[in-house]
């Protein structure tokens, strides 16, 4: 959501009487956590507090995911992809804005291979091949010449 969308949402909530209570929690909140924002519409159509939902909503949406939140998000995404495949495009659209907020992945550590053993190398003269031929170059073309041993 953009800042304009946040302001529009706040306006709709607090001025169009679309809801009578607003409760905003962190993504990782446990059931007994304190809300980021809470407001209740009273009996006379007045809110208990001054409308201020846009700022905490924007802050929470921009907050990077913790490792645990990210893992849970992808578990739910995989489950939804298998459970409701007809909504695949919508699920991809939902995951798109979440990706930049995911924690950086550490590359997996590769095990170092065992030290390389020294291999025997046949002793040939420079330019000589194992079949006894030599290679000479002439104006960029390779010319094979058989040598007699």
Contact 97, 106 (CB under 8 A): no
- For a pLDDT cut of 90, what percent of the chain falls above it? 18
Helix axes 88-98, 67-83, angle to 10 degrees: 170
Between 37 and 149, residue with greater pLDDT = 37
What's the pTM value of the predicted model, to 2 decimals? 0.52
24 or 17, higher pLDDT: 24
Q: Tell me the residue ranges of DSSP E strands in 6-73.
A: 21-24, 37-40
Q: What is the mean pLDDT of residues 70-94?
A: 93
Across 6-12, average pLDDT: 66
Mean pLDDT (whole number) for 93-98: 90
Q: Is pLDDT at 141 greater than 80 in this prediction?
A: no
Q: Is pLDDT at 122 greater than 80 in this prediction?
A: no
Residue bearing the bigger pLDDT, 16 or 144: 16
Residue 77 has pLDDT above 90, yes or no: yes
Helices and strands in the chain: count of H runs, count of E runs: 4, 4
Instruction: Say whether pLDDT at 19 is over 70.
Output: yes
The span from the CA of 113 to the CA of 117, in Å, is: 11
Lowest-confidence region among 21-30, 54-63, 82-91, 130-139 = 130-139
């Amino acid at each position: 959501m953009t800042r304009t969308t946040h302001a529009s949402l706040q306006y709709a909530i607090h001025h169009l009487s679309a809801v009578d209570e607003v409760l905003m929690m962190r993504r990782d909140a446990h059931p007994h956590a304190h809300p980021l924002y809470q407001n209740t519409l009273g009996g006379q159509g007045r809110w208990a507090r001054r409308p201020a939902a846009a700022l905490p909503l924007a802050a929470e949406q921009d907050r990077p995911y913790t490792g645990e939140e990210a893992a849970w998000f992808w578990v739910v995404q995989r489950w939804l992809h298998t459970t409701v495949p007809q909504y695949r495009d919508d699920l991809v659209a939902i995951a798109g804005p979440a990706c930049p907020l995911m924690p950086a992945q550490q590359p997996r550590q590769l095990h170092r291979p065992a030290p390389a053993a020294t291999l025997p190398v046949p002793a040939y003269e420079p330019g000589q091949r194992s079949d006894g031929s030599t290679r000479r170059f002439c104006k960029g073309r390779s010319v094979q010449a058989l040598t007699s041993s």
